[in-house]
């Protein structure tokens, strides 16, 4: 029997320890990348089943789990993996750190784009590497890679590793095969390892095609890794769990050895269980949630065009995050953020994603439409008023 999900339902997440809602009192949180929707019914059912079984002991990944991962990635993205190509990790961010340890030494330069998901910067610095940025360029309302700059930075800073994000957060780009191939050739020419964070892959919106970097890595498999997870796709980030894909056996054993130094190669029982269920039975939910998200994106774009026409909007090609250039409405980042907070709506401050995020905001539209509309109307009020507060970003 098909399940028809009701994403209009407003579920109270306050007082549940939710990162997004915990600090929000009567503010509408449209910031951190999780959705205000219940996850897929089969995932909830299997978690209940495990709890009912009652023994929550040490757990290993099973054959059907591997098969579910293989089938999902093969059938959707033509990424055909063997069981040996798959490692597990508690999260994509922990894996980014792990990859720095695999491919670089302290003091080495790691290339990232600007803007970029904040931990790409903070984790590089926290782990005694230095990051070198290549700013994304804007063309026809979307970000493109500056290939000449990327190559120049690689040479100048003797870059060893490129931490790449596809689909891109916060810009929402799903990089095309041509773009990825061009990037790949530059990295290969200069012997730079590529670690591609692909956590937003399954949220690719209609009209776009996601290409896993690993499908392009022929002849260079020892330097390419894809990182992904079911947690973003199915809104189960609190469960923690992710995958590392690589095709070269020496690289895989190096990654595995590095993981074992801190015993981080295993997931918990609920993560393995949810992962298998998501990849075996999650499509129906995913299809419906993407339809809902696409409708929310349209509603948002229309609202902004009508009420805040001076915001320059980057239409996402994947995911539910919309990158907004609000420079017409404020002169500094703190003022921009404060204006919105004063009107009781919270977005992610663009400046947290790098210098290119100056006077930009990242808006999360993965919530019931009624909540989104209230949030948008508060944004409207905030940016059209001169009322200021002085909270800290």
Taking the complex as a whole, the smallest distance from the CB of residue 102 to ligand PLP amounts, in Å, to: 17
Q: How far is the CB of 241 from ligand PLP (least distance, A)?
A: 8
The DSSP code for 72 is H
Q: 117 or 210: whose CB is closer to ligand PLP?
A: 117
- 280 vs 83: CA distance, rounded Å: 16
**Which one of residues 69, 92, 195, 275 is an interface residue with ligand PLP (CB under 6 A)?**
92
In whole angstroms, the minimum distance from the beta carbon of 229 to ligand PLP comes to: 5
Separation of alpha carbons 314 and 66, rounded Å: 37
Nearer to ligand PLP, 42 or 167 (CB): 167
Rg (CA), the chain: 21
Q: Does 311 sit near ligand PLP (CB under 6 A)?
A: no
Closer Cβ to ligand PLP, 27 or 348, answer by number: 348
Helices (H), 78-146: 92-103, 119-126
Other CB atoms closer than 10 Å to residue 176's CB: what's the count? 15
CA pair distance 86, 79, nearest whole angstrom: 12
Cα dihedral 25, 26, 30, 35, rounded to 10, equals 70
Rule CB under 6 A: which of 279-298 touch ligand PLP?
none
Q: Chain centroid to CA 253: how far?
A: 26
- Listed as own residue / partner, the contacts of 371-375 with beta carbons closer than 8 Å and 24 or more positions apart are 371/10, 371/28, 371/36, 372/30, 372/296, 372/299, 372/300, 373/299, 373/303, 374/28, 375/28, 375/30, 375/345
User: Taking CB under 6 A as the criterion, which residues in 52-81 touch ligand PLP?
Assistant: none
Q: Could you give the string, one character per residue 217-256, with x where binding to ligand PLP holds by CB under 6 A and - elsewhere?
A: ------------x-x-----x----x--------------
Least Å distance between CB 92 and ligand PLP? 4
The number of beta carbons lying within 10 Å of the beta carbon of residue 254 is 16
CB closer to ligand PLP, 343 vs 361 = 361
The alpha carbon of 272 is separated from its chain's Cα centroid by a whole number of angstroms, namely 20
175-194 residues in contact with ligand PLP (CB under 6 A) are: none
β 360-364/321-325 pair status = antiparallel
Give the other-Cβ count within 10 Å of 288's Cβ: 18
Residue number, 151 or 202, with CB nearest to ligand PLP: 202
Selected binder of ligand PLP within 35, 100, 165, 289 (CB under 6 A) = 165
Residue 299, both tokens: 């509603």
Smallest gap, in angstroms, from Cβ of residue 255 to ligand PLP?
Answer: 16
Task: Note whether 93 binds ligand PLP by CB under 6 A.
Answer: yes
Q: In the complex with ligand PLP, which residue's Cβ is closer, 31 or 184?
A: 31
**Angle, to 10 degrees, between the axis of helix 119-126 and the axis of helix 92-103?**
50
User: What is the smallest separation between the CB atom of 328 and ligand PLP, expressed in angstroms?
Assistant: 27
- Contact flag: residue 91 with ligand PLP (CB under 6 A): yes
Rounded least distance, CB 310 to ligand PLP, Å: 27
From the list 118, 161, 116, the residue with the least C-alpha distance to 143 is: 116
Tokens of residue 149, six digits: 């700059």
> Which of 102, 342 has the CB closer to ligand PLP?
102
Binding string, 20-59, against ligand PLP, x = CB under 6 A? -------------x--------------------------
Closest residue by Cα to residue 290 from 203, 172, 198, 171: 203
Q: Which is nearer to ligand PLP, 42 or 94 (CB)?
A: 94
Near ligand PLP in 102-141, by CB under 6 A: 117
Q: Which is nearer to ligand PLP, 32 or 371 (CB)?
A: 32
Spatial contact of 146 and 136, defined as CB atoms under 8 Å apart: yes
C-beta of 281: minimal distance to ligand PLP in Å? Answer: 21
**Residues in the site for ligand PLP, rule: CB under 6 A?**
33, 91-93, 117, 165, 169, 197, 199, 229, 231, 237, 242
């Amino acid at each position: 029997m098909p399940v028809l999900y009701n994403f209009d339902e407003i579920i109270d997440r306050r007082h549940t320890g939710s990162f997004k809602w915990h600090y929000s009192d009567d503010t509408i949180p449209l910031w951190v990348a999780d959705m205000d929707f219940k996850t897929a019914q089969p995932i909830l059912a299997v978690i209940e089943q495990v709890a009912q079984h009652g023994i929550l002991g040490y757990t290993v990944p099973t054959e059907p789990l591997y098969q579910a991962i293989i089938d999902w990635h093969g059938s959707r993205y033509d990424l055909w993996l063997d069981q040996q190509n798959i490692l597990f990790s508690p999260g994509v961010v922990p894996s980014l750190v792990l990859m720095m340890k695999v491919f670089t030494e302290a003091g080495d330069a790691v290339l990232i784009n600007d803007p970029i998901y904040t931990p790409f910067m903070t984790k590089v610095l926290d782990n005694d590497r230095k990051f070198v940025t290549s700013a994304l360029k804007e063309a026809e309302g979307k970000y493109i890679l500056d290939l000449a700059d990327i190559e120049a930075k690689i040479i100048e800073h003797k870059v060893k590793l490129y931490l790449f994000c596809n689909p891109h957060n916060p810009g929402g780009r799903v990089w095309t095969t041509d773009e990825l191939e061009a990037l790949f050739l530059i990295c290969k020419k200069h012997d730079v390892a590529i670690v591609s964070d692909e956590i937003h892959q399954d949220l690719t919106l209609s009209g776009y095609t996601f290409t896993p970097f690993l499908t392009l890595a022929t002849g260079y498999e020892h330097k390419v890794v894809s990182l992904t997870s079911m947690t973003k796709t199915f809104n189960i980030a609190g469960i923690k769990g992710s995958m590392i894909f690589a095709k070269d056996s020496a690289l895989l054993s190096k990654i595995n050895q590095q993981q074992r130094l801190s015993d981080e190669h295993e997931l918990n029982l609920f993560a393995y269980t949810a992962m298998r269920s998501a990849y075996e039975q999650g499509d129906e939910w995913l299809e419906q949630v993407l339809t809902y998200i696409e409708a929310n994106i349209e509603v948002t774009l229309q609202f902004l065009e009508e009420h805040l026409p001076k915001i320059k909007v980057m239409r996402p090609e994947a995911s539910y995050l919309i990158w907004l250039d609000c420079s017409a409405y404020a002169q500094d980042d703190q003022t921009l953020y404060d204006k919105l907070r004063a009107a009781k709506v919270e977005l992610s401050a663009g400046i947290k994603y790098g210098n290119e995020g100056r006077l930009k905001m990242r808006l999360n539209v993965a919530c019931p439409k009624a909540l989104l509309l209230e949030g948008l109307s508060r944004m409207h009020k905030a940016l059209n008023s001169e009322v200021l507060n002085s909270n800290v970003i």
